[in-house]
Structure 1
Amino acid sequence: MTALPFVGVRPRATRALRRLPAAEASERRLKRNVGLIWGLLVLNVLSFSTGVSVIPIPGSAGKVITQGALSLAVLLALMQNPRGKFRPNVFLLLLTLLALETVVTVLTVGPVKGTYYRTFRMLEFVAVLWLLSPYWNRADMLLVRCHMKAMLWVVITVVLGIMVDPNRALNGGRLQDIIWPIASTQVAHYAAVSIGIAAIMWFCGQLRGKVALWYVVVATGVLLLTHTRTALVAMLVALLFGGLSLIATPRVRRLFGVVGGATVVAFAAFSSAITSWMARGEGTTQLTNLTGRTNFWGPLLAFPRTTFQEIFGFGLSNGSFDGLPVDSNWILSYQDQGLFGVVMCAVILLYVLVLACLQSRGMRRALALFLVIYCIVASFTEDGITNPSTYMLDVTVAASLLLPAATRRQA
């Protein structure tokens, strides 16, 4: 009599054991595919400057690689999610409205050089984010880990560039990537985001101390060598708010106390060196006009435009005006997407920020706060939140952390 239940259970247990390796293999395959797709999105938004890399990469080949990465990401996302399932959420709806607005603008204003192509790529970019939405807010924070790995790979190539040719890598006194030609400001962005994510994951015990220390030390060295003030200030402000959201954690309280004391001592002992580093040899005029940025913001804002162009802009551009980079998310949004784009950018950032503040205390909230506050601070002298860029990916990762936890079926 006692053997009957055992006989009845054995086939089910055997089938479960047989399914386990297949499930694990499927999970590993999913993580690999999502990581590859996310890496292609990051590769798509990397800058490419000819004549910088130690590897003789022709300009046309560089553009094919970066721009082709997006098309490949679309293809792989469709293969990973062939039924086109998605998780409806406000953030992606707002991005979709921005993408549709660019379509309306280009059809109304008329073709400007490259505008049709950039609009199509914007639609592709948003489509990939929709196709990846079923994997948002998984228990293992898959998207965060993919983003962190992508940032780390960039930092590794920068370090390799220093080892190969330090004089070329530090050309002009500011570190740039010479393996894949990435400008100093972008290198600083990737290093700052790597530092923030690694620090918060260590705060929450999700990253071992030695691993986190290597992340932070190497990325901090890269960040300081870029001499990029925007990334440094944005990272410190964002890490402050992200850390304060975890202040109940004893490890965080102790670290904040140590860092606070060390900061006071450092400013007292090395104030002149810190001031010199921040000034970068620039005079008062250069500091007040943000290294010349504000000199042409006025002419850009005064540029004649119709009522339609004032509201909806001229369509997506290459981020420049009169041959000079705009270097401000708000000014570029007004130029490309008009007042509609400026308002939408503010709504996106405010939505993610408020949603993060309403979340319960924990690592997801801290990471989301770090990413969105970093983007808010950097947005005044960097652009890209309302068009395909690393900043858009940063905000996307922040938004993905704030969705309700994905169920097994959704994941």
Structure 2
Amino acid sequence: MRHGGPPGGADPADIRPGTAPRPAATPKAVGIVWGLLILNTLGSSGAKTILPLPRSLIQMVTMGALGAAFTLALALNLRLRIRPSAFVFLLTLLLVPSVISSLQLESGFGALFRCTRLALFAGTLWLLTRWWDGGLTFVRYHIRIYFAVLGTVVAGLIVSPGAAMPELYGGRLVGALWPLTPPQIGQYTAVITGLTVLLVLGRRTDRAGAALVIVPSLVLLALTHTRTATLGMLIGLTLAIGSLVLTSAAARRFFTWSVLCATVAAVGFASALRAWFLRGQSQENFTSLTGRANVWDALLAAPRTTTQKLFGTGLSDKSFGGLPIDNSWLAVYHEQGLMGLTLVGAIIIALGGVALLRPPSLPRACAIFLISYVAISSYTEAGLGDASAYLLHLALAASLLAAPAGTAPLEAAEVPRRQSRIPRWARR
């Protein structure tokens, strides 16, 4: 019979020397916090919805979601128990150039508002690190919540196909109930498809349930005509599955069949795939990345002071000269300068380095997929320097790469307490 153990807690007899007791199971409310963070990153501008939603109302909902996420996370972690995280630490440091540049008010008072948003975002992630243990709990949150978001896209497509695939976007799928752009929908579908495929290969979900996620998501991805999301998903999955090939027979079979199917598709449907990829654009327009290259050239050619080069011009709506920048690295350079660029690069390198050093496992493969996807998407999408879905994907990768809590070394404060249980004569 065991004595002295706290109700529902770890029994002292079960604690091995040199290890800390495992924390209690992740509360369900943590999933609500993660969902509120996702709601905050959905954005407030995009396609016209069936029922017009004032931008101020959408901003109130998204910012309110972030405030609620921080408050709930704080209520769940009142003792402020956090785990070390290089990702969240570097993200917190990113506030330094953000605040320094935003205080100049070159981007208006909205820059300070965005700094506050980034601070709350990082603070909420710090509070959630208590439950980052290298498990797949947050992966399931990620898939379920984004699948629910895509459910609103499907509902809008059913209710009003014309509004969901407007001519303004070239007939590409948009959010008709919530203002989601084609790249956003493509991003969400690609990420949950890749993660679900990896869960199937790792035998963490059944094939029927996975098909309910993968098949509709691929259909929506095809309707968005989002090339970056498609390439990011394919390359990310290739790298992730490649990391499992030596240890998983299922991964080897899937990889082999994928190569065969890709070869057949490339030969038999080359013209159809090329037409889908070009989206009816001319070769010149395709070469300039739909006009993005013109904005990038103008941004790099713009004169800047030494302060602007080091710290940027302040957080803005990721645009230059009224046009979207659509490149995370140039957006960070414009808003947070070379210091911000260094920190964002350090985030990607740190996560990638830790992923490479981890032994092969399903969580590691999921992290490799997410890091690869974000790195590829950063070339044509902005978001690495501010609270966004891309940073949330990287936060998920950081949670997957965290060491299991049960193998963490004892805290210094616990050592004397354990020694006090030893009789004095035994300590001599």
Same-fold call, TM cutoff 0.5: yes
Q: Which position in structure 1 is the counterpart of 2:185?
A: 187
Q: Deviations over 1:185-211 (max 9, x none)?
A: 000000000101000011100011111
Tell me the equivalent position of 1:230: 228
1:217-296 alignment runs, 5 A limit: 217-248=215-246, 249-296=248-295
**Maintained 8 Å contact 2:47/2:176:** no
Question: What letter corresponds to residue 100 of structure 2 in structure 1?
Answer: V
Residue equivalent to 2:420: none
Measure the CA separation in 1 of the matches of 2:224 and 2:278.
13
- Counterpart of 1:149 in structure 2 is 144
Shift of residue 320, structure 1, vs aligned partner: 0.8
Question: What is the Cα deviation at residue 51 of structure 1?
Answer: 6.8
Is the Cα–Cα contact under 8 Å of residues 47 and 183 in structure 1 kept in the other structure? no
Q: Does 1:170 align with 2:168?
A: no
2:92 aligned residue (96, 121, 141): 96
| AA aligned opposite 2:184 | Q
Q: Report which of the two has the higher share of helix.
A: 1
* Conserved 8 A contact 1:245-1:366: yes
| Structure-1 residue corresponding to 2:353 | 354
Q: Distance in 2 between matches of 1:155 and 1:164?
A: 14
Offset, 1:79:
0.7
Following the alignment from structure 2 to structure 1, what is the Cα–Cα distance between the partners of residues 402 and 101?
31
Give the counterpart letter for 1:401 in structure 2: L
Comparing 174-183 and 106-115, the one that deviates more: 106-115
> CA separation in 2, counterparts of 1:51 and 1:195?
24
What is the percent sequence identity of the aligned residues? 37
Answer yes or no: is the 8 Å Cα contact 1:50–1:59 preserved in 2.
Answer: no
Contact 1:99 1:126 in 2 (8 A): no
1:54 aligns with 2:53: no
Using a 3 Å threshold, how does the CA distance of structure 1 residues 37 and 270 change in structure 2: closer, same or farther?
same
Secondary structure at 1:351's aligned position in 2?
helix
- Decide which moves more: 51-60 or 235-244: 51-60
- Which secondary structure does the structure 2 equivalent of 1:384 belong to? coil
Distance 1:380 1:73, change over 3 A: same
CA distance in 2, matches of 1:293, 1:51: 20
SS at match of 1:57: coil
The 5-angstrom pairing of residues 315-334 of structure 1 reads 315-334=314-333
Aligned partners of 1:113, 1:78: CA distance in 2, in Å?
27
- For 1:251, the aligned partner's letter is A
Rounded Cα–Cα distance in structure 2 between residues aligned with 1:302 and 1:262: 45
Question: Given that residues 47 and 175 in structure 2 are in contact (C-alpha distance below 8 angstroms), is that contact kept between their aligned partners in structure 1?
Answer: no
Q: TM-score, structure 2 length as denominator?
A: 0.87
Aligned counterpart in structure 2 of residue 38 of structure 1, from 15, 34, 51: 34
SS in 2 for 1:401: helix
Q: Corresponding residue for 2:14?
A: none
d(CA) in 2 for partners of 1:204, 1:309:
47
Report if the CA contact (8 A) 2:244-2:251 is conserved. Answer: yes
- Aligned-pair distance for 1:112? 2.5
Higher relative contact order, chain-length normalized (CA < 8 Å, sep 6+)? 2
CA 1:279 to 1:16, structure 2 compared with 1: closer, same or farther past 3 Å? closer
User: For the structure 1 residues 12 and 345, does the alpha-carbon distance in structure 2 shift closer, same or farther, using more than 3 Å as the test?
Assistant: closer
Note the residue ranges of structure 1 that are not aligned, 5 or more in a row.
Answer: 1-8, 20-25
Q: CA separation in 2, counterparts of 1:10 and 1:120?
A: 49
Shift of 1:93: 1.2
Specify whether residues 296 and 138 from structure 1 end up closer, same or farther in structure 2 by C-alpha distance, changes over 3 A only. Answer: closer
Give matches, 1:291-302, under 5 Å: 291-302=290-301
Shift of 1:10: 9.6
> What does residue 426 of structure 2 align with?
none
3-state SS in 2 of match to 1:310:
helix
CA distance in 2, matches of 1:10, 1:256: 49
Q: Residues 118 and 174 (structure 1 numbering): CA distance in 2 closer, same or farther, change over 3 Å?
A: same
Q: Could you say which residue in structure 1 is the equivalent of 2:419? A: none
Mark the CA change 1:271 to 1:138 in structure 2 (over 3 Å): closer, same or farther.
Answer: closer
1:138-197 CA deviation, whole Å, 9 max, x = no partner?
A: 54x222221222211112111122211122211131011112121110000000001010
Q: Retained in 2: the 8 A contact 1:40–1:69?
A: yes
Residue-by-residue CA offset, 1:302-357 (whole Å, 9 max, x unaligned): 22211011011011111111111110001101000111112211111111111101
Deviates more, 1:246-255 or 1:285-294: 246-255
One-letter amino acid of the structure 2 residue matched with residue 93 of structure 1? F
147, 151, 158: which one pairs with 2:153? Answer: 158
**CA distance in structure 2 between the partners assigned to 1:94 and 1:49 by the alignment:** 28
TM-score (norm 1): 0.90
Q: In the alignment, which residue of structure 1 is the partner of 2:342?
A: 343
Instruction: Indicate if the aligned counterparts of 2:174 and 2:182 stay in contact, CA closer than 8 A.
Output: yes
Cα distance in 2, alignment partners of residues 63 and 196 from structure 1: 30
In 1, the alpha carbon distance for the partners of 2:219 and 2:386 equals 29
- Cα 1:109–1:64 change in 2 (3 A) is closer
The structure 1 residue matched to 2:130, chosen from 103, 120, 134, is: 134
The structure-2 alpha-carbon separation of the partners of 1:50 and 1:284, relative to structure 1 and needing over 3 Å to count, comes to closer
CA distance, structure 2, for counterparts of residue 245 and residue 307 of structure 1: 43
CA deviation vs aligned residue, 1:336-389 (integer Å, no higher than 9, x gap): 011111221111111111110110101011000000000011100001112100
Q: 8 Å contact 1:70–1:125 — kept in the other structure?
A: yes
Contact 2:97–2:312 (Cα < 8 Å) also in 1? no
Question: C-alpha displacement at 1:221, in angstroms?
Answer: 0.5
Equivalent residue of 2:244, what SS? coil
Structure 2, unmatched stretches of 5+, are 12-22, 411-428
Displacement of 1:408 in angstroms is 9.7
